[in-house]
Structure 1
Amino acid sequence: MPFSTVYSSDAPSREEVDAWQEPAVLEFGTNWCGYCQAAQPAIAQAFAGHESVRHVKVEDGKGRPLGRSFAVKLWPTLIFLDQGREVARLVRPADPGAITDALTLVDRPHL
């Protein structure tokens, strides 16, 4: 799956996210957020080699139900999902290694 580069205002519902079977990362933030922009090189670097992981950038803010359902407080927040369940969370990540470590929790063969 291609790496997403723009936060989308068209977010899936929590029910849709919970039903995902493939490995996924929800990235909450906004296109104008300085912290979000600064984190993009590390996030892109970590995602190289993890093309099977669904990456969904969700525009977050007041009244946005998906971010509220995950109790997102700061941007960017990356939520790593294995079969729709949260297995890791990183807030304002700057280290590609930490992101890669979290990706390996979801990007593995399921037996």
Structure 2
Amino acid sequence: MGAQVSTQQRSSDHGEVLSVHSLDKWNTQFQNSKTSNKLMVIDFSAAWCGPCKFIEPAVHDLAVEFTDVDFIKIDIDELPDVAKDFDVQAMPTFVLLKKGKERDRLVGVKKDELHRLIEKHRF
């Protein structure tokens, strides 16, 4: 299946977005989120999605701003079962999880709204 983690994006501890490319890696991240107090923002996108590409730099900027939040990127074509589990119907879809439970969700290219939701749920 190729690399599980993109070489350019290893850890959100440094304000980066972790790209998850395998179900095993996703399951590990999801299990870790259940025992963590950290907010997890999942960016469901696809390589062919124009709006996803458009908002990607903004998501990276948010990861730099909110180093206390885990940012995960999932390509729905690579991990369709995960997208189905979260009932992703359109892209980009951002799902905000805390302790393994969905706290909020945002569909579309709305950087200011995503920023507001992260502020609301991160503590």
Gaps spanning 5+ residues in structure 1: where?
A: none
Paired amino acid for 1:98: E
Deviation at 1:46, TM superposition (A): 3.4
1:19 equivalent in alignment to 2:34: yes
Runs of 4+ in 1 over 4 A off after TM superposition: none
User: Match of 1:86?
Assistant: 102
User: Match of 1:41?
Assistant: 57
1:105 equivalent in alignment to 2:120: yes
Do the aligned residues in 1 keep the contact of 2:22 with 2:78 (CA within 8 Å)? no
Higher share in helix? 2
User: Match of 2:22?
Assistant: 10
Report percent identity of matched pairs. 19
1:72 equivalent in alignment to 2:88: yes
Closer/same/farther in 2, CA of residues 61 and 68 from structure 1, 3 Å limit: same
Moved more, 51-60 or 16-25: 16-25
Gaps spanning 5+ residues in structure 2: where?
A: 1-12
3-state DSSP class of the match of 2:57? helix
- TM-score computed with the length of structure 2 as normaliser: 0.71
Q: For 1:50 and 1:63, locate their aligned partners in 2 and report how far apart those are by CA, in whole Å.
A: 26
Closer/same/farther in 2, CA of residues 99 and 107 from structure 1, 3 Å limit: same
User: Match of 2:9?
Assistant: none
Do the aligned residues in 1 keep the contact of 2:45 with 2:52 (CA within 8 Å)? yes
Paired amino acid for 2:57: P
Equivalent residue pairs, number: 106
- TM-score computed with the length of structure 1 as normaliser: 0.78
Q: For 1:50 and 1:18, locate their aligned partners in 2 and report how far apart those are by CA, in whole Å.
A: 16
